[in-house]
Amino acid sequence: SLLEVLRLVSSGRGFRMIPVESELTTQQAADLLNVSRPFLVKLLEEGEIPFAKTGRHRRVRADDLFAYKEKRDASRSDALSDLAAMDAEEGLV
């Protein structure tokens, strides 16, 4: 949202604006997910993220990549919440 962009600008942190309809190379997609390119290719081949081939090159739609990232982040958050709940039950927190 615009508010998020303004917050990033005011904090001095860098950011990139990527049109959701754009197609990304596997390296660009890997960089955005902060994973290696071979790991991203594995995700593509396993069907975790849709992709298209242009000749021999894979292309990932930005909106598909962002949908995967949101799903991954939600899953991680749920797992951390579960761990915190287990720690609380065991009296570790």
7: in domain? no
Domain that holds residue 84: 19-89
10: in domain? no
Q: What distance lies between CA 32 and its chain's CA centroid?
A: 6
In this structure, which amino acid lies at residue 72?
R
Give pLDDT tens digits for 14-38.
767 776 678 999 999 999 999 999 9
Name the nearest CA neighbour of 18 among 52, 66, 50, 51: 66
48: in domain? yes
Q: What is the mean pLDDT of residues 66-83?
A: 85
Domain count, the chain: 1
CATH number for the domain spanning 30: value is 1.10.1660
Q: What is the pTM of this model?
A: 0.68
